[in-house]
Amino acid sequence: MPPSSSAPIKFALQAYRYPPQKCIWNAAHANSLVIVTANVGPGANQRVDIEIVDSGPSHNVYLSKRGIKAESRLAITTHAEGEVGVCLRNYIEGDISGRDENKISRIIDLDIDIGADAVDYNAIANQESLSGLETEMRKLEGVVKEIVDEMTYLKKREERFSKTNYSTHRRVQNFAWFIIFSLTGLGAWQIFHLRSYFKQKYLID
């Protein structure tokens, strides 16, 4: 699950009285910086709400904002491994005829940067008076950190899968031994039962 910055996307968000969520999902590691830039086009009698969530077990809601307009720049830091979702709803507000309700929408330009791509290195360079080479080294440092984090994540996932496979193998092996012992015991009981039956019928001594 390598973290990645999605390419900017542009779409029309249909307005409804009770709108469904439209979510854009991207993979992200824990403690990753995520910058969301949403540019909302004009539209009368409409209200666009945005929410940033994740797909982790806790279903964290990092940010929820009503009525975003024009350009909004939002920043969060993830708490868990998984996917980060940017979810939008477009509400109809005011008096609109039922015939026109299905015709209104707003154009959304969405840009999501994650990890090293979310860091404003130009601002850092100006603040710390870094040269061009030093700024590039800082960028490389961020990229290397992401690669190390990704390798660590893959190693942990492999260890988790190995433990699961080992546990499953042990369960299957124990069940197989249980079947063998059960069949052996059942066979022995049948032999003794048949021997007793034949003795009662005087078929064997």
pLDDT score for 155:
78
How far apart CA 199 and CA 205 sit, in angstroms, is: 6
What mean pLDDT is predicted for residues 105-114? 89
Percent of the chain whose pLDDT exceeds 90: 13
pLDDT at 106 > cutoff 60: yes
- Of 204 and 194, the structure prediction assigns the larger pLDDT to 194
Is the residue at 193 inside a domain?
A: no
Confidence of residue 190 (pLDDT cuts 50, 70, 90): confident
What mean pLDDT is predicted for residues 83-97? 86
Confidence of residue 50 (pLDDT cuts 50, 70, 90): very high
Is the residue at 77 inside a domain?
A: yes
pLDDT score for 201:
66
Is the residue at 62 inside a domain?
A: yes
Q: Identify the CATH number of the domain in which residue 109 sits.
A: 2.60.120.660
- Reduced 3-state DSSP string for 46-112: EEEEEEEEECCCCCCEEEEECCCCEEEEEEEECCCCEEEEEEEEEEECCCCCHHHHCCCEEEEEEEE
Is the residue at 20 inside a domain?
A: yes
Is the residue at 23 inside a domain?
A: yes
Average pLDDT over the chain reads: 80
What's the structural domain count of the chain? Answer: 1
Query: Which residues constitute the domain of residue 112?
Result: 6-119
How far apart CA 198 and CA 86 sit, in angstroms, is: 78
Is the residue at 78 inside a domain?
A: yes
pLDDT at 130 > cutoff 90: no
